Structure 1
Amino acid sequence: MKQFIASKAFVVRDGKILIVRESAEYKGGTNIGKYILPGGKIKPGESHIEALKREMREECGLEVKVGAPFFVTQWQPEINGEKIQIIAVFFECLTESDRVTLDSNHGDFQWINPGDYDRYDLNAGGKDAFRAYLERSQINAR
């Protein structure tokens, strides 16, 4: 089984989080039609932060400031008939812009309140990341 490591962005702007939906045309997609947190595979020689900044520019047209990682998970989707393992590290990121320009692999985006994540058709990794983010927020508020 192939294994990939991905950097995923929890982009925060004005208290809202950016989610994007994979389009039906995305050939390498594992979450067609579902909302996900933006980000993707780390290329050989790239750091998590370099990969995340690159992915945010490519997928969303956004420049981000990458903060600390707050959640790690894995899942095993099938792509083109081959099962793979994706290990994803989620980072809190900040952006000064709310102007999102999606690439052709993504058909929609939303800025959502973190507590409303369950109203959207998010992939499992995204749901887990939102739960971890909210739990961490409650701990930090104490």
Structure 2
Amino acid sequence: MSQDSATAAYGQQVITACAVVNKFINGKPSILVAKRAATKKFLPGKYELPGGHVDYGENPEDGLKRELLEELGLDVTIGSLFAAFTYINEIKGSHSIELLYFAQAKEGSEPTVNPEDHSGLLWVNEDNINLVEQENGSDDQELPYLKKSLRILNNYESIKLG
């Protein structure tokens, strides 16, 4: 059964998988964030790492690939599991476990906006990460991981070049 962020799941645990889709733009590591549609009941108009709910019996990486294709038309290669955290979704009445994976778009695959899911896309880097914090607030649970992933990608590039 496919779910969304507003489908009731009172007292249940829900697994979500999200992608730190990254690429270098003008020599800087950048990460794709999507702005949730204003019509969404859960976190409307907020920036998020793209992804979604893992279906019952589905491998998290497969669920993430499926969600990115469905929501953004984006075909990706999934990398390492980067982080995990939990939160309560008051709209669903559920406890969510969010898994974050590094990912890269496959050659020729570009993200597109599906207005039912998102109102825009933004590539963030160390120069504009403040836009996400201003829009979402400093208590956004994904924000520390977004910042940490940028630091990791910056260090990776330094190591690669050094």
Same fold (TM > 0.5): yes
- 1:33 corresponds to which letter in structure 2? G
CA displacement at 1:125 relative to structure 2: 2.7
Q: Work out whether 1:128 is the aligned partner of 2:153.
A: no
Q: Which residue of 2 aligns with 1:47?
A: 59
Measured against aligned partners, the alpha-carbon deviations of 1:46-96 in whole angstroms (never above 9, x if no partner) come to 1111001001001111100000011111111211xx532111010000113
RMSD over aligned CA atoms reads 2.1
Give the whole-Å Cα distance in 1 for the aligned partners of 2:57 and 2:74: 22
Secondary structure (helix, strand or coil) at the match of 1:16 reads strand
Q: Which residue of 2 aligns with 1:102?
A: 113
Give the whole-Å Cα distance in 1 for the aligned partners of 2:126 and 2:60: 23
- Structure 1-normalised TM-score? 0.84
- 5+ residue gaps, structure 2, are 1-10
Q: Which residue of 2 aligns with 1:35?
A: 47
Runs of 4+ with >3 A deviation: 134-142
Give the whole-Å Cα distance in 1 for the aligned partners of 2:70 and 2:44: 18
Q: Which residue of 2 aligns with 1:61?
A: 73
Summarize the Cα distance change of 1:83–1:69 in structure 2 as closer, same or farther, 3 Å threshold.
same
Alpha-carbon contact 2:75-2:109 (below 8 Å) kept: no
- 1:22 corresponds to which letter in structure 2? R
1:74-85 equivalent positions in 2, closer than 5 A:
74-79=86-91, 82-85=92-95
CA displacement at 1:117 relative to structure 2: 2.0
Alpha-carbon contact 1:115-1:134 (below 8 Å) kept: no
Structure of larger gyration radius:
2
CA displacement at 1:97 relative to structure 2: 4.3
- 1:5 corresponds to which letter in structure 2? I
- Structure 2-normalised TM-score? 0.75
Give the whole-Å Cα distance in 1 for the aligned partners of 2:50 and 2:142: 10
Alpha-carbon contact 1:74-1:88 (below 8 Å) kept: yes
Q: Which residue of 2 aligns with 1:116?
A: 128
Secondary structure (helix, strand or coil) at the match of 2:142 reads helix
